[in-house]
């Protein structure tokens, strides 16, 4: 009697695993290893000196701070956008839904130039903010605007399917039991959306940390003020200081990994907490 095997489109476990390891090594592990190997050309003292200069520390603070702020704004407004697209019907809904994916399709340089034109002193939006003393373009605020723009689709497209699968009967049952709208949202909806919302937040943050094209046009790129770390790395490469560039990149990589690990732990904890309830 022949043993029944589960059918699969892909080949067996061995070839599939081997291809996966080969592909990830070629695309991810080898480039990352090259960055670490190049950094090892520096002594420990030289490495510390490179990554702790005031200019580098300022770029780290701006890059990670603006990325966290942009991802937080996207988590809040992305949830609202996803909620409106799922729960309401209105004229132009398909157009709004398509516009959410615009940052995916729009080249980052085009996005940066467009945002700069809009938020400059003589731009459509900047001219309205200028009389109130609010400057966006060529300031750290402009960086947050750019990072929020490119990260919004990650949150919306992550939360939207979960909202679509969340049955309305659950909210009706909560309401029938005397729960207010806030209690229903806080105790019923948020626990179900928390893992997806954290995932979207992590994706938006990861994209924002490494963003370059849309930021350099609106940032102003002033050292110690509005210079992001990716631009500083490019500057080091243009000056043929490869070891210093990879050293800065390695620190950025490690910090990004630790923050993403923390976010994933929070996501795991939130999911397990929801399951236990």
Average pLDDT, the chain: 86
Q: Is 42 helix (H, G, I), strand (E, B) or coil?
A: coil
Round to whole Å and give the CA distance between 17 and 188.
40
Q: Is the residue at 116 inside a domain?
A: yes
The string of pLDDT tens digits covering residues 215-254 is: 999 998 898 999 999 999 999 999 999 999 999 999 998 9
Round to whole Å and give the CA distance between 138 and 152.
21
Q: Is the residue at 238 inside a domain?
A: yes
Give, as one character, the DSSP assignment of residue 12. -
> Is residue 142 a contact partner of residue 115, using CB atoms and an 8 Å limit?
yes
Query: What pTM does this model have?
Result: 0.84
Q: Is the residue at 1 inside a domain?
A: no
Residue 165: its pLDDT value, please? 84
Is pLDDT of 177 > 80? no
Residue 9: its pLDDT value, please? 61
The string of pLDDT tens digits covering residues 37-68 is: 888 888 999 999 999 999 999 999 999 999 99
The string of pLDDT tens digits covering residues 113-122 is: 999 999 998 8
Least confident piece of the model among 78-92, 96-110, 187-201: 187-201
Q: How many domains does the chain have?
A: 1
Is the model more confident about 193 or about 72?
Answer: 72
Looking at residue 117, which CATH number applies to its domain? 1.10.3720.10
Q: Is the residue at 229 inside a domain?
A: yes
Please report which residue ranges of the chain form alpha helices under DSSP H.
13-24, 30-39, 44-51, 54-87, 93-100, 102-105, 108-119, 126-129, 140-165, 168-176, 181-184, 190-209, 213-219, 229-238, 242-276
Q: Is the residue at 26 inside a domain?
A: no
Average pLDDT rounded to a whole number, residues 177-201? 81
Q: Is the residue at 127 inside a domain?
A: yes
Range of the domain at 183: 45-276
Average pLDDT rounded to a whole number, residues 186-197? 82
Is pLDDT of 3 > 50? no
Q: Is the residue at 114 inside a domain?
A: yes
> Is residue 243 a contact partner of residue 258, using CB atoms and an 8 Å limit?
no
């Amino acid at each position: 009697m022949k043993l029944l095997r589960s059918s699969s489109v892909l080949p067996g476990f061995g070839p599939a695993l081997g291809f996966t390891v080969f592909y990830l090594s070629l695309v991810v592990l080898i480039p990352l290893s090259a960055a670490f190997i190049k950094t090892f050309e520096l002594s420990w003292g030289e490495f510390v000196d490179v990554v702790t200069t005031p200019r580098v520390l300022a770029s780290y603070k701006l890059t990670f701070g603006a990325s966290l702020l942009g991802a937080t704004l996207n988590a809040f407004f992305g949830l609202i956008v996803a909620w409106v697209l799922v729960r309401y019907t209105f004229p132009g809904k398909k157009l709004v839904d398509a516009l959410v994916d615009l940052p995916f399709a729009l080249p980052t340089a085009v996005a940066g130039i467009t945002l700069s034109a809009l938020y400059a002193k003589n731009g459509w939006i900047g001219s309205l903010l200028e009389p109130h003393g609010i400057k966006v373009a060529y300031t750290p605020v402009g960086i947050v605007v750019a990072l929020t723009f490119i990260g919004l689709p990650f949150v919306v497209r992550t939360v939207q399917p979960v909202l679509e699968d969340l049955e309305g009967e659950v909210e009706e049952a909560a309401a029938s039991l005397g729960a207010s709208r806030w209690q229903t949202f806080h105790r019923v909806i948020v626990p179900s959306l928390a893992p997806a919302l954290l995932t979207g937040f992590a994706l938006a943050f990861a994209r924002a940390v490494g963003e370059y094209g849309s930021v350099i046009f609106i940032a102003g790129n002033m050292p110690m003020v509005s210079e992001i770390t990716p631009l500083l790395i490019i500057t080091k490469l243009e000056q043929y200081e490869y070891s210093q560039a990879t050293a800065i990149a390695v620190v950025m990589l490690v910090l990004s990994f630790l923050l993403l690990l923390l976010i994933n732990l929070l996501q795991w904890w939130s999911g397990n907490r929801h399951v236990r309830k």
